[in-house]
Amino acid sequence: MDASPHLPRRLTEQCAALLDVGDGHFKPTLASAVLDGFEGLGPEGQLAFFRHLHGDLGAAPAAVDDAIARWRDAPSQQSAQRLHAASESPRQALLRALNLAEDGTFRLVSMRSRFLAVLAEHPELEPVDQDFLHLFRSWFNAGFLKLHELSWDSPSSLVEHVLEYESVHPLGGWADLRSRLQPADRQCFAFLHPSMGDRPLIFVEVAVTEEIPSSTDFITDLDRARQGSGRTVATLYSINNTFPGLRGIPFGNHLIKQVIAHVRRHDPEVTTFVTLSPVPGFRRWLETRPAGGTGGRRLAAEADDALRPGAPAGAVEAVRPAIVAAARSYLLESTDGRGRPLDRVARFHLRNGAVLDRINWPASTEPHVLDQSFGLMVNYLYDAPSGSDERARDDTERAAVPASRAAAAAHRPTTTEETT
């Protein structure tokens, strides 16, 4: 590949040297120099660097062909290992070497975050992402993750990440954060990784309540006088990934399972585990599709009108059946070209073993929830009794619509992870 005017020659020479050098004591220093050079590039320079990884550091076709021929001539463990070595790209070896730099894992995760922004406009670079994913899935497997319970007494360097990365129900400041961490019936759990310092990879906020919540009011309602001691429901109401560069690394399922096990051990009265989850693609889907006898765009307008201040009494109740029916169809019947649920949050929870339990409308007046789904949110039920006939219900009629575990399993994808 021809050299790019945006990619310093010194940087490509340092990459080549890093691949050629042995395991000497100066290898981490050279790895740091390469990462420093990359991080100092502008957008065009970083694109040129990724093109260098793709065009100049891919697997050598001739070597792969030769290894394939050797395998066909004499299949053996030795020829299989030779084929494996030939098919592994030099860029993968480079990424491994870069991990030796100080804070190398964190810096490579940041590099992939920038790469994903580039990949959206340059899909031909996809093979580079496959090498990132191959390494990250090994480096961030569940065995390296440690569950931490965060509280108001946790170090500020740790809990400030909750304040920064909470995106499902954004926090207004430290007072809001305190209301999520300090009360006895509010908990927050995070996965930490030894190579990422005190930066949580993902965190989940939990509320212990008397009933399955149908709206976000319980998040800000701190009046505990109206609540008795019989709180048996744990609601996982906010799940947040903090590193875009770790997209596609499946640790959300492990977090949910460990949190449920932790709560069970420490609070045996809790027997029900649910979420209160957004439905981020619902508005976009509804506005472009028919919905029963009423056009989707018309139904969307009616839902918006019903929620406006000063709307006639009964406006919400008049629209509710149609909105709930449309949401049920969207979540349980609408799939993408790969047979997966269209909604990314539904994909995450159904894949991880939950079932759709209840559809709530309206459930939130938060602007971003109104923009995404007219304020509609849903409860996904975890750890449902095996073989039970779980159902998708709306929050008023409790209309039972079968959503059995088998049906939910049919909607589970096998690839990337996206969370609430």
The pLDDT of residue 420: 55
pLDDT at 222: 60
- Please tell me which residue, 10 or 251, carries the higher pLDDT value: 10
Alpha carbon 404 to its chain's center: 25
pLDDT for position 157: 87
The reported pLDDT for the residue numbered 67 is 82
Q: What is the mean predicted confidence (pLDDT) over 184-191? A: 92
- Which part of the chain is CATH 3.40.630.150? 282-409
Determine the Cα–Cα distance for residues 374 and 365; give it in Å rounded to an integer. Answer: 9
Q: What is the mean pLDDT of residues 352-370?
A: 94
pLDDT of residue 61: 85
Whether residue 257 has pLDDT greater than 60: yes
For residues 61-69, average pLDDT? 85
Q: What pLDDT is recorded for position 413?
A: 31
**In contact, 62 and 68? CB cutoff 8 Å:** no
Query: CATH classification of 9-140, choosing from 1.20.140.90, 3.80.10.10, 3.40.50.10320, 3.30.160.270?
Result: 1.20.140.90
Q: How many helices (H) and strands (E) does the chain have?
A: 18, 12
Task: Examine the pLDDT at 291 and tell me if it is beyond 70.
Answer: no
Report how far Cα 132 is from the mean position of its chain's Cα atoms: 17
Mean pLDDT across 289-296: 64
54: enclosing H helix or E strand: helix 43-56
Distance CA 262, CA 190 (A): 12
Residue 225's pLDDT band (cuts 50, 70, 90): very low
Residue-level pLDDT at 407: 37
d(CA 264, CA 390): 22
- Residues 335-363: what's their mean pLDDT? 93
* Averaged pLDDT, 324-338: 93
Span 313-342, average pLDDT: 93
Stretch 248-267: mean pLDDT: 91
**At residue 174, does pLDDT exceed 90?**
yes
What letters, b where the CB count within 10 A reaches 16 and e where it falls short, cover 222-239?
eeeeeeeeebebbbbbbb
pLDDT band at 282 (very low <50, low <70, confident <90, very high): very high
Per-residue model confidence as pLDDT tens digits over 3-18 = 667 799 999 999 999 9
Give the whole-angstrom CA distance, residue 358 versus residue 401: 10
Q: Which CATH number fits domain 143-270: 3.40.50.300, 3.40.630.180, 3.20.20.110, 3.30.420.40?
A: 3.40.630.180
**Residue 377 in this model has a pLDDT that exceeds 50:** yes
Contact 276, 216 (CB under 8 A): yes
pLDDT at 384: 55
How far apart CA 57 and CA 59 sit, in angstroms, is: 7
Supply 274's token pair.
């649910």
Is residue 223 very low, low, confident or very high in pLDDT (cuts 50, 70, 90)? low
The answer to whether 121 touches 112, Cβ cutoff 8 Å, is no
Of all residues in the chain, the percent with pLDDT exceeding 70 is 86
DSSP state of 409: H
Q: What is the pLDDT of residue 371?
A: 96
Q: Mean pLDDT, to the nearest integer, of 78-102?
A: 90
**Does the pLDDT at position 89 exceed 60?**
yes
Residue 213 in contact with residue 252, Cβ under 8 Å? Answer: no
Nearest to 4 by CA among 50, 40, 37: 50
pLDDT computed for residue 205 by the predictor: 95
The pair of structure tokens assigned to 135 is 């390494």
pLDDT in the model for residue 220:
67
Please classify residue 362 by burial: count the beta carbons closer than 10 Å to its beta carbon, then call 0-12 exposed, 13-18 middle and 19+ buried: buried
CB 205 within 8 Å of CB 188 = yes
pLDDT tens track for 23-40: 767 899 999 999 999 999
What six digits make up the tokens of 19? 């691949």
Question: Cα dihedral sign for 370, 371, 373, 374?
Answer: positive
pTM of the predicted model as reported, rounded to 2 decimal places: 0.82
User: Above 50 in pLDDT, residue 415?
Assistant: no
Residue-level pLDDT at 274: 96
Asked whether the predicted pLDDT for residue 395 surpasses 50, the reply is no
The residue-averaged pLDDT of 383-404 equals 42
User: What dotted CATH number matches 282-409?
Assistant: 3.40.630.150
What is the percent of the chain where pLDDT is above 90? Answer: 65
